[in-house]
Amino acid sequence: MSYARAVHGYSYRIVSMTKGFVASVNVDSLSAFWGGLQVLAGDVQNAIKSHLFYWNLWRKYHAIPELFDTSSHVAVVKGYPLRPEFIETTFFLYQVTKDPFYLDVGAQVLHDLQERIRTPCGLATISDVIENTLDDRMESFVLSETLKYLYLLFDEFNPLASTDSNIVFTTEGHILTLNNTHLRPMSKTRRLSRKYENLTCPIYDAYPDRSAIKKPSLRHGIRNRPDYDYARTLVGLPTSGDASTDDLEWSTPYGTCEVPSYDTFSYDVLLSRQGQKVEEDQDISSLSKKLKPWKGGVLVNEVMGLRVQMRNRFDGKGYDITKIGHLNVRQGEKKILQ
């Protein structure tokens, strides 16, 4: 995720599976599922930010286009076949936060579906979210997923909406119940790692790491996050009314357009013997003399001019060295300085 996650943390890019570089600045509507998966993994704060990105896309188009260019802020593929991923994430976030904001999101989605695509015999596919042209087509996932998650969002006492149950949804929204026959003995590797695991989800905090910001005593929730409206700028959603007036309001202590802070995921460091400034050594023959693969790791004979790449560990416990000079280093491999 350190390659795919944008630096602001609100969206995830398409990257090369082998090189890690950004392959496209487009995001697709299917990726809206990611926030729901983050909820299931216990990463609620990042799930909220992922959802805010797609919520602002919905605010802009009253639908989510199949492909959106995050650089030019325009829809590339303008169709919307009523995909369920955004509604699914909204459902999961409401289950974990119980913030009425997500009910408002669902109400807006329901309103837009009824106003734009409802027909006497079903729901039509939007072929162009800008021109509002419709296709005589309704995908099967509209009933099995989109409308199901939308219904469960508002039916809070439905057993399928309980977080304390043995029910899981497949990727197509089908309901599966799990019993003891599906339990497997814990593997030896899992037993050894148990002491390092923390299986308790973090407590939801409406104001994470914002101690310097004055908190209104009677106002809580997503809309009062200081970075709530930041995602609007990422999709090019225009301000309402006079832009200068809006910008002035954003700068108040209770403003909603604070640029979010984020942890640096990776570092590049040039090594030298005594901390002096040096040029990077990019000559392969020279690098081959300074370091080489050695017994499940890397043996370094000389540090001058070596570039070291480090990446933040997903468990938050420091950094892993991923590359030294021209050699890639896998997690767990030894780095030996001679």
Q: Please report, to the nearest 10 degrees, the dihedral formed by the alpha carbons of residues 63, 68, 73, 79 taken in order.
A: -50
From CA 43, how far away is CA 204, in angstroms rounded? 10
What are the Cα distances from residue 32, in Å, to 58, 278, 324? 11, 45, 36
Whether 66 sits among the annotated catalytic residues: the reply is: yes
- Which has the closest alpha carbon to 290: 234, 229, 338, 236? 338
SS (H, E, C) the chain: CCCCECCCCCCECEECCCCCCEEECEEEHHHHHHHHHHHHCCCHHHHHHHHHHHHHHHHHHCCCCCEEECCCCEEEECCECCCCHHHHHHHHHHHHHCCCHHHHHHHHHHHHHHHHCEECCEECEEEECCCCEEECCCCCHHHHHHHHHHHHHHCCCCHHHCCCCCEEECCCCCEEECCHHHCCCCCHHHHHHHHHCCCCCCCCCCCCCCCCCCCCCCCCCHHHCCCCCHHHHHCCCCCCCCHHHHHHHHCCCCCCCCCCCCCCCEEEEECCCCCCCCCCCCCHHHHHHHEEECCCEEEECCCCCCEEEEEECCCCCCEEEEEECCEECCCCCEEEEC
Whole-number CA gyration radius for the chain: 24
Cα four-point dihedral sign 203, 207, 208, 209: negative
**Set 66, 85, 88, 145: catalytic member:** 66
Q: Which residues are catalytic?
A: 66
